[in-house]
Structure 1
Amino acid sequence: MRHLRSLLADTTPLQTPAYRRLWVAGIVTVIGAQLTVVAVPLQVYSLTRSSAYVGLTGVFALVPLIVFGLWGGALADAVDRRTLLLVSTVGIGVTSLAFWAQAVAGVDNVWLVLVLLAVQTAFFGINQPTRSAIIPRLLPFDQVAAANALNMSVFQLGAIVGPVLAGVALGFTSLSTLYLVDTVLLLATLHAVLRLPALPPTVLGRKAGLREVLDGFRYLAGHTVLLASFVVDVIAMVAGMPRALFPEMAVQSFGAPEDGGTVLGLLFAGIGIGALAGGVFSGRLPGVARQGVAVVVAIAVWGLCMVGFGLAAGAGVLWLAVAFLAVGGAADTVSAVYRSTILLQAANDDVRGRLQGVFTVVVAGGPRLGDVTHGASAALVGTTAAAAGGGVLVVVGVVVAALAMPAFVRYRVVSRAGG
């Protein structure tokens, strides 16, 4: 029993009231955000009956995420982070309310929906790096890894529960209700942010312009360990994220109906289920000092799982394919926890916001580039070769990166006080 308890997530950070309020609020607000994630493409499709317009949601979301993710990180290093978190949270809430208003009013304008999506994503781009950058200011140094594991668990829970709830709710209520529920649930986070202490910048008088954004990239380029944490994640996501293949695999490999049905749902849920399990059973993660090695091993496991997934799909064995996705999702959680911890612990506080901005862009943009590479590869060599071959490239790529940047493999966290 004691051994099992040691495997469960370390909840020590929840003893800090400010962090606990943010974390608890995050449970409901992440689920609410997923309702909007489902509602937006659904509304776009219902207005246009065109998958091309639905594809535009990716463009309208990615561009502001890149621009405001980077700028938001610079802002987080220049102004009080509590104030910035408050403004961006209100902005997200107001745009959610606007989504609800246009749906209730029956405006039926697809461009209005896309513009609202872009505006909300811009506020999210500011909010996310700020939220991450405050963790070392709220918690002791040695609790940062545990806090990141807890945050990952909440995100994955929302990614699984939110879409399921949306699907169930749409059976008896309107799409506009999803937007309204998201808006109401955001009030929990707003309350938690209002109760945060002041979090002024550690370097006064700093600006948040293009020069400061570029300074963040220069800082990153000069610190091999931090740079490597981004490089290996790009390798894992661009070469090894096969989700663009799921619709075709559901039909061609597993004999599902044209809409994919339950099979498609299982494929999309596989990685999330494993990632959630990885967060729940993350109790041993904070005790690992060789975090660079842990990231390399976790990404190699991710790559091997994608090889297994591709081969299992080629053989038409659904349960084995989903199992490989789940194990890969757990490995991805381990990688994400350590990469985010390295960024927060190895970087100076006056650049944490900008580095978290880059982190937000890479984490969100990498899988979208993976969609492009896998879609193109499948058109040339088929889905099985695209998925399995991508996994092989991940393993080769992460080994090459480790050899090219040995400082990352040698990186060892040293416990210290403060942040």
Structure 2
Amino acid sequence: MTSRLTALLPDLSPWRTSRDFRLLWVQGLVTYLGSVMALIALPLQIKDLTGSPLAVGAMGAVELVPLVVFGLYGGALADAVDRRKVILLTEAGLGLLAVVLLVNAMLPSPMLWPLYVVAAGVAALAGLQRPAMDSLLARIVPHDQLAAAAALNALRWQIGAIAGPAAAGLVVAYAGNVPAYATTVAGFAASVLMCRRLSAVPPVEHAARPSWRGILEGARYAWSRPVLLGTYAIDLAAMFFAFPNTIFPFLADELDAEWSLGLMYAAGSVGSLFVSLTSGWVSRTRRHGLLVVFGAAGWGVAVAAAGWTSNIWLVLVCLGLAGAGDMLSGLGRSTIWNQTIPDRIRGRLAGIEVLSYSVGPQLGQVRAGAMAGWTGARPAIWTGGLACVATVGVLAAVLPKLLSYDARTDEDALRRAGEVTDLRKRGVTAAE
């Protein structure tokens, strides 16, 4: 019995194997704990200044274009330059934007327009950074430990996502926006210091210069791989239809439970954390496409239930179940991406990944905010959840190779494993 329980615990091999993985793990936790303060304070500040669900949802529209443009370019950049430098410079830029939020909040009458400007700037810098960050994992962690690394990264985010929103909700409610934004500034300052200690991660030999032609090459590669295409499409659909976070303040008002706002933001992470803490089985799983499909469908069902019920405690339980489904789908996506994508175009494909798991929530904010202004928060949530389930079912039917994906037999996964072996023989990898 004890051995079975032990087998469920997270696989710590990546933590023991790679110094850079350990450093990024801690850095990511510190950054998230700081930035989540701004993630919650910003929409609440817009709500207080305007009283409009549409104005809050418009934040997603403001972020969309910078995220698309800089996400694609950031992918090409990550293939051409030292990924450590990209991460370091963009992290410093995000810290400066947090300073802008802090200064604006300290004004006698805070202004609305800087909030949208900062939101657009954060989207641009995140678009530049995330391809470099995401494509780094396959270079610093052994190929056979990628699934375990994905689970550990998820565990890091869930720890932050549970502690962060709960604390941020209390800080914003009882201390105000200034302490929240000050915490964000401090978090980025600490993160920059840790990023400076990362090993250099130079591009592969004969790496192409950043160009739109190179970006199109990555897009053509993704389009030619039904498995990858399925992961992108399902994640985009799930986030577009069933990402209710931006209207949580209005849901809390409708349920007469303003005290629950921080818990709403944290509930999904509780479910995700449960999956992460019992993720030992992930290292032994080979059918990651099944995780993507059934996890996304479970997310949609749980979100629909959260919007349908009027009991705040059932809402929180449903949001927790939604987080568990999202975690399963995310583990499947991350593992497939790292197992199959060649390193020479890893950054460009990571840029496309940014679009799939970031543009979806941005569009989802606009959809949820607009519909909540028309029908109310609860109908906007449950109808989106049902639409998510239906769309995931259709995509799974038209992309059967995603469901049948097996890391032991997939040609791209086997080719990528051979590439990693070759890189290690030549000393290109940064893993220690």
Please report the TM-score for the alignment, with normalisation by the length of structure 1. 0.86
Cross-structure match for 2:75? 73
Measure the CA separation in 1 of the matches of 2:82 and 2:56: 37
Q: Pick from 279, 298, 303: which aligns with 1:301?
A: 298
The 1:45–1:283 alpha-carbon spacing in structure 2 relative to 1, beyond 3 Å, is same
Deviation at 1:384, TM superposition (A): 6.4
1:131 aligns with 2:128: no
1:404 aligns with 2:401: no
Aligned length: 411
Deviation at 1:76, TM superposition (A): 0.5
Q: Secondary structure at the match of 2:280?
A: coil
Q: Secondary structure at the match of 1:119?
A: helix
After superposition, where does 1:313-328 map in structure 2 within 5 Å?
A: 313=309, 316-328=310-322
Cross-structure match for 1:394? 388
Measure the CA separation in 2 of the matches of 1:303 and 1:181: 33
Cross-structure match for 2:331? 337
Measure the CA separation in 2 of the matches of 1:251 and 1:46: 13
Measure the CA separation in 2 of the matches of 1:226 and 1:73: 16
Deviation at 1:73, TM superposition (A): 1.1
Measure the CA separation in 1 of the matches of 2:43 and 2:376: 27
Cross-structure match for 1:86? 88
The 1:181–1:418 alpha-carbon spacing in structure 2 relative to 1, beyond 3 Å, is farther
Q: Percent identity?
A: 35
| Unaligned ranges ≥5, structure 1 | none
Deviation at 1:104, TM superposition (A): 4.5
Q: Pick from 349, 353, 362: which aligns with 1:359?
A: 353
Q: Quick one: which amino acid aligns to residue 183 of structure 1?
A: V
Deviation at 1:289, TM superposition (A): 0.3
Cross-structure match for 2:287? 290
After superposition, where does 1:197-276 map in structure 2 within 5 Å?
A: 197-243=199-245, 246=248, 249-250=251-252, 252=254, 256-257=255-256, 260-276=257-273
Measure the CA separation in 2 of the matches of 1:95 and 1:379: 29
The 1:54–1:332 alpha-carbon spacing in structure 2 relative to 1, beyond 3 Å, is closer
Q: Secondary structure at the match of 1:215?
A: helix
Q: Pick from 179, 182, 203: which aligns with 1:180?
A: 182
Q: Cα deviation per residue 1:189-245 (whole Å; 9 max; x = unaligned)?
A: 323322222211114351212222222211111111111111111232223334466
Measure the CA separation in 2 of the matches of 1:36 and 1:345: 34
Residue pair 1:140, 1:418 contacting (<8 A) in 2 also: no
The 1:237–1:43 alpha-carbon spacing in structure 2 relative to 1, beyond 3 Å, is closer
Q: Secondary structure at the match of 2:208?
A: coil
The 1:169–1:375 alpha-carbon spacing in structure 2 relative to 1, beyond 3 Å, is closer
Residue pair 1:18, 1:192 contacting (<8 A) in 2 also: no
Cross-structure match for 2:61? 59
| Unaligned ranges ≥5, structure 2 | 409-413, 421-432
Deviation at 1:357, TM superposition (A): 1.6
Measure the CA separation in 2 of the matches of 1:128 and 1:211: 20
Q: Quick one: which amino acid aligns to residue 354 of structure 1?
A: R
Q: Secondary structure at the match of 1:24?
A: helix
Deviation at 1:145, TM superposition (A): 1.5
Cross-structure match for 1:166? 168
Q: Secondary structure at the match of 1:284?
A: helix
Q: Quick one: which amino acid aligns to residue 138 of structure 1?
A: I
Measure the CA separation in 1 of the matches of 2:53 and 2:384: 26
Q: Pairwise CA RMSD of aligned residues? A: 3.0
Measure the CA separation in 2 of the matches of 1:378 and 1:94: 33
The 1:385–1:95 alpha-carbon spacing in structure 2 relative to 1, beyond 3 Å, is closer
Measure the CA separation in 2 of the matches of 1:131 and 1:190: 14
Measure the CA separation in 2 of the matches of 1:409 and 1:65: 29
Measure the CA separation in 2 of the matches of 1:25 and 1:165: 19
After superposition, where does 1:101-120 map in structure 2 within 5 Å?
A: 101-104=103-106, 108-120=110-122
Q: Cα deviation per residue 1:273-310 (whole Å; 9 max; x = unaligned)?
A: 21222222222112110111222222232233334434
Deviation at 1:266, TM superposition (A): 4.0
Please report the TM-score for the alignment, with normalisation by the length of structure 2. 0.84
1:6 aligns with 2:12: no
